[in-house]
Amino acid sequence: MSALFSPIKLRGLTLKNRVVVSPMCQYSAEDGVPTDWHFTHINNLSLSGASMFCIEATHVEAIGRITPGCLGLYSDAAEAALKQILASVRKHSTTAVAMQLAHAGRKASSARPWDGGQLIPVSEGGWQTVAPSALPHKEGEAAPLALDAAGLTRIREAFVEAAKRAERIGIDAIELHGAHGYLLHQFLSPISNRRTDEYGGSLQNRMRFPLEVYDAVRAVFPHDKPIGMRVSSTDWVEGGWDLAQTIEFASALKARGIDWIDASSGGVSPLQKIPLGPGYQVHFADAIRRETGLPTIAVGMISDAKHAEEIVASGKADMVALGRGMLYDPRWGWHAAAELGGEVEAPPQYWRSQPSTQKALFGKTTFGAR
């Protein structure tokens, strides 16, 4: 039996396999509101064979968006549009739908990647960014404003309100974005956090605001629905955030009831040096799982079905999440199941696509027609 296509239970949510579609920014929203592109993108990948699809980084306030085209959940218009998309998904897919709640901090007000991805000055339509400390992400950029007590409260409450909206539209799970150099990661890393108050300095202080955000979201999201967090396991910069600190942070989250850790890396500094290659981050998920006992998701250049199977079967991670691989092959889950002897769910309109040489990929052996 395939380990990758075995079930896993996260609180009241049972997933039929261990394949997740990673949250992938589409940079195609209008003032945070999803567009027809999101309708197509989400409905398409909800039929990938993955047991859970995670909606892209969904920002909790307008100035927290990475780009002007990034998705948000801070308005009634965005809530209504996402609710309509979710209703369409539910008609044809049993895939669980999660949402990654995020705030970009000092990496906000950036151009879309295909427009260069650099900071947009306020004079050119950008906005003033905020961060733990008034340190720019990149030398020569305008500095963010250091958050004061009122700013911290505003952002914490913005996460809470977004979580309430997520519940109203029927989201099955939440992932908090604590990685890739965005706001929660900025608090964790000594590279971006130079505060001298209770939110800076020691590891315990740097963890304080991300833990407060988790606690606040957990308090308003239904108890039977899981919440996880994506973390950058290392900054890949000497003197920055590292795996040992990540494990301490994960242990603090475990004590608060976190349901998984999504183990990514990097993003807080342009000085990072990342040794890219298939599965280059899997050892982070493995270490966090071994040291804390938490379920982990392995991510990063995983595209081969046998590789994904080995990761789960060997206990290096409990799930694998694919991003670019899913964009390239939107039926990756089907093809992996066929290769590994697993089963996936698919709408009956597609059952006849199963090759005659494949045994019960959809749990069906015949397709009748007159």
> Over pLDDT 70: what percentage of the chain?
98
> Over pLDDT 90: what percentage of the chain?
94
Q: Which two tokens stand for residue 326?
A: 């899913």
Reported as a single tens digit per residue, the pLDDT across 241-253 is 999 999 999 999 9
Reported as a single tens digit per residue, the pLDDT across 317-364 is 999 999 999 999 999 999 999 999 999 999 999 988 888 777 778 886
| Residue 369 belongs to some domain of the structure | no
Reported as a single tens digit per residue, the pLDDT across 216-236 is 999 999 999 999 999 999 999
- Give the separation between CA 91 and CA 192, rounded to whole angstroms: 44
Q: Which position has the token pair 């309100």?
A: 161
Q: Is 171 helix (H, G, I), strand (E, B) or coil?
A: coil
**Would you state the pLDDT for residue 363?**
80
| Residue 358 belongs to some domain of the structure | no
- Give the separation between CA 242 and CA 251, rounded to whole angstroms: 14
| Residue 361 belongs to some domain of the structure | no
Residues 43-57 have a mean pLDDT of 98
Task: Band the pLDDT of 166: cuts 50, 70, 90.
Answer: very high
Check if 199 is active-site: no
Q: Which residues pair with 297 in a beta bridge?
A: 262, 319
| Residue 1 belongs to some domain of the structure | no
**Would you state the pLDDT for residue 355?**
82
- How many CB atoms lie under 10 A from the CB of residue 286? 18
Task: Determine whether 346 is exposed, middle or buried from the number of CB atoms within 10 Å of its CB (0-12, 13-18, 19+).
Answer: buried
Domain count, the chain: 1
| Residue 250 belongs to some domain of the structure | yes
Q: Is 223 helix (H, G, I), strand (E, B) or coil?
A: coil
Task: Band the pLDDT of 370: cuts 50, 70, 90.
Answer: low
Write the DSSP symbol of residue 33: B
**Would you state the pLDDT for residue 364?**
62
Whether 144 shows a pLDDT value over 60: the answer reads: yes
- Give the separation between CA 344 and CA 321, rounded to whole angstroms: 16
Reported as a single tens digit per residue, the pLDDT across 306-318 is 999 999 999 999 9
| Full domain range(s) for residue 270 | 8-353
Round the average pLDDT of the chain to a whole number and report it.
Answer: 96
Nearest to 151 by CA among 79, 78, 209: 209
| Residue 182 belongs to some domain of the structure | yes
- Give the separation between CA 324 and CA 270, rounded to whole angstroms: 22
| Residue 362 belongs to some domain of the structure | no
196: CATH: 3.20.20.70
Q: Torsions phi, psi of 56, nearest 5? A: -50, 165
| Residue 326 belongs to some domain of the structure | yes
**What is the number of helices (H) and of strands (E) in the chain?**
10, 12
Residues 80-96 have a mean pLDDT of 98
Among residues 74, 182, 199, 214, the one annotated as catalytic is 182
Predicted TM-score of the model (pTM): 0.96
